[in-house]
A = this chain, B = another copy of it.
Amino acid sequence: MADKKRVYLFGGGSADGSAKLKDLLGGKGANLAEMARIGVPVPPGFTITTETCIDYYNLGEAKIRELLEKDVVNAIHFVEQKTGKKFGDTENPLLVSVRSGARVSMPGMMDTVLNLGINDDAVQGLAKKTGNERFAWDSYRRFIQMYGDVVMGVKPEKGEIDPYEKAIDEMKEKRGVKQDTELTADDLKELVEVFKGIVKKYTGRDFPTDPWEQLWGAIMAVFNSWNNERAIAYRRIHEIPDNWGTAVSVVAMVFGNMGNTSATGVAFTRDAATGEKRFNGEYLINAQGEDVVAGIRTPLKITKADSIAWAKANGISEDERREKYPSLEESMPNVYKQLYEIQDKLEHHYHDMQDIEFTIEEGHLWLLQTRNGKRTGLAMVRIALDMIDEGLIDEKEALLRVEPNKLNELLHPIFDPKALKTAKVITKGLPASPGAATGRVVFFADEAAEWAAKGEQVILVRLETSPEDIEGMNAAQGILTARGGMTSHAAVVARGMGKCAVVGAGEIDVDYDARQFTVGDTVIKEGDWISLNGSTGDVYQGKIHTIDPEIGGYFGRLMELADKYRVLGVRTNAETERDSAVARKFGAEGIGLARTEHMFFDGERIKHMREMILAETEEERRKALDKLLPYQKEDFKAIFRIMEGLSVTVRLLDPPLHEFLPHDEEAQQEVAKEMGVSVEKIKEKVEELHELNPMLGHRGCRLGNTYPEITEMQVRAILEAAIELKKEGIDAKPEIMVPLVGTDKELILQRQIIESTAEKVFADKGMSIEFKIGTMIEIPRAAITADEIGKVADFFSFGTNDLTQMTYGFSRDDVAKFLPIYLKKGMLEHDPFQVLDRKGVGQLVKMAVEKGRSVNPKIKLGICGEHGGEPSSVEFCHIVGLDYVSCSPFRVPIARLAAAQAAIRYPRS
């Protein structure tokens, strides 16, 4: 044991460790070592290995201390030497932080102690050096509190008031002040003694004033925290082995508040908003990191150029600027120069845009942290592509650098930032479908369509939406609902349309009769302007100017690059002309799912549909279906035309028939009147069709197999449309998809109906065309028996929405009751309706792929669930060997990029 290296030093331009030793030094320790190693000035310190943590559990505290003693003492001396400070010194005391750090980040799970080394002597030194006695004593009393909790285990009883808070309150009362900040240095000095008393009272032990004793206590406390309850729970949920252990990093504290040659700041190597290659950041002289964040003082710009621009924007004269708000470039030119060189070095070292934190202590620059900087979608794309040109990264790396979901920001309108400044947020809902929208409030879908037809921009506001509202939703700029979650009808349809939507805005009170809604005291009437931010969920009163996205050169170049590497095809889910056109513009290579039921809601169609449903005999049903046929055919022609030359997968009727009937009394009466039947008949039918679990009821191919005439009509419409276009010279490639198949028999029967209808159509039209017949795999049994179903299918399309519902036994409509708790408690890592569940649902997909190909090597395999546009799910589709994914139009670019990333990460042999 004694021969193992347990303590790794860093600082002063060198380090024992490096980024490669993450397993041994933890993420934090390794990164500090790495920076030191490449010559970046980091506060000196040392890291005790993760192995030592495990040994601690095996050998016990005494033995570990014995093994570490010499090395730790030497390490502290090393730090003292590098900083010129001394542990417990009254003049220039060395204070350190003691931090945990495992191989992978376990945020907030384990313990950290700051300002260790402070005691009755060192506090003097700190006061002197900072010239701020209050700061020194405040640091001291905070340290006692933190150390008392973390290391010494001060734990108030359940229900008891926190004793430290109580002491502070008593002190404030005594002094007759309200705010903590009003307490003086002397008050805090007094509190330090009270706090020590608290520790003594709760632990029976004196607060340790010897820095060494403090240090050993903190090290052992960090080791212990590896096995605290929340860390164990976190590891269990994230499947982190118990025997990894945590490292302990001890790092010298540095202070940016030691006078006017001290400062603290943050900086970015490039512009995080635009991606422009431009060093930038903010800093404060004689301040601590917290001060920058707290916003009490105005932070200054680091570069002179930024400073000048900022002053100009704020109407500050150049003289005043130079005087009061100088840039770091001007106030500390040498430090600036050093910082500039470091940021350049870091970016070259890490090959990515860096977000850095620094402190200048008495003219000395220390880098406290560097990490890959967060950035907007726009910046992400630009930086990745620029870095190819700069030779920093290659094409594959550039593709991997862009988070596919961030592309969303590039595809939707955004609010004009200037206009936004004066806008008033009246409430917030769920950000259901991204983008920005502004328009006049309308409460009824049909009226939304009417207003829009007159050239008005409208926002459709509803308690919730239903399939009948589709047309109105399409006509609106955006949709706002009071109810429903991220997978509610409004949310799903809006995302499909690429239409801005905010849903579940529970605070709004919609009054259809009065044609207004209220939020608190604010009343918004029909015709009033509101604006929605579908990416944040914010709802604004008034009109806010929006700017359309610039799908510029960077975006186009990224997509080209993605197409160069991806293997998966990318299709779209679309059934309207508008959606199909958008999708094709975004690069969709066909339609993977055209739902036919939406086509039955408009105008006359819904009437004929209801006639069909109310029919008592096959003959009556056929009569009604005959009336629907021309509408369907026209719909298909429109789509086929746009998708000329590309495959279009049309799904036969899927939802249960009761969805087409009205469920409230009033609407029933209206329909009865319109159709010339008694309201009782409508009610009877609604009652007859009622289902306890419609999701698992009479729908999908169960309709087409009980009423073959429905299938016949749809097939006729599809094939007649294709033939009529062919006669015009337009190449339509229909694929007919049978939904909800659970047994091969169901598909066999549907196939017979489809084929015999096709023969009739071909005979009638005197022309035949090629088409495919396939099925959704969306029922677990279909996946399990894919080796039977595969024999009679030309293609499988995984309907992972329903497949997830049935594999998990989760109703999408009801899951909101427990899903949030499940996510919070870690019982689920993701919402399985957003991210495909690889272990469960994914295994069924994999099984179906293997079984399907085993009996039908030519079978075409795709996915058309919402997962088809979610990056991690796209990756899975690539891994299991699908041929294509299909997603909503606005997700097509995301899928293209995700597919490229998957191909780079998991090359198909």
Contacts and interface: CB of A to CB of B under 8 A. Distances in A.
Contact of A693 (B695, B702, B778, B779): B695
Contact of A841 (B781, B837, B839): B781
Interface stretch (A220-228, A535-543, A547-555, A742-750): A742-750
Contacts of A815: 697
Given A784-B844, A807-B806, A696 B697 contact: no
Contacts of A697: 811, 814-815, 817
Interface in A667-716: 691-698, 702, 705-706
A821 interface: yes
B780 A807 contact: yes
Interface string A747-785: 011000000000000000000000000000011110011
Number of copies: 2
Interface in A227-241: 236-237
Contact of A780 (B691, B748, B806, B826): B806
Given A748-B236, A749-B827, A779-B809, A784 B695 contact: no
A825 interface: yes
A809 B742 contact: yes
A813 B806 CA distance: 16
B840 A705 contact: no
A821 B821 CA distance: 42
A781 B807 contact: yes
A655 to B, nearest CB: 13
A444 interface: no
Contacts of A821: 705-706
A858 to B, nearest CB: 22
Contact of A822 (B237, B705, B811, B818): B705
Contact of A837 (B691, B781, B811): B781
A696 B827 contact: no
A237 B749 CA distance: 10
A814 B698 contact: yes
Nearest to A742: B808
A788 interface: yes
A740 interface: yes
A814 B691 contact: yes
A805 interface: yes
A802 B809 contact: yes
Interface of A: 236-237, 691-698, 702, 705-706, 740, 742-743, 745-746, 748-749, 778-781, 784-785, 788, 802, 805-811, 813-815, 817-818, 821-822, 825-828, 837, 839-841, 843-844
Given A691-B811, A692-B811, 11 more contacts: A692-B814, A693-B695, A693-B696, A696-B805, A706-B818, A743-B828, A746-B827, A779-B808, A780-B780, A781-B840, A785-B840
25 contacts: A237-B745, A691-B814, A692-B694, A692-B813, A692-B814, A693-B693, A693-B696, A695-B696, A695-B809, A705-B818, A705-B821, A705-B822, A705-B825, A705-B827, A706-B821, A740-B809, A742-B808, A742-B809, A745-B827, A778-B809, A779-B807, A781-B809, A781-B837, A781-B840, A781-B841
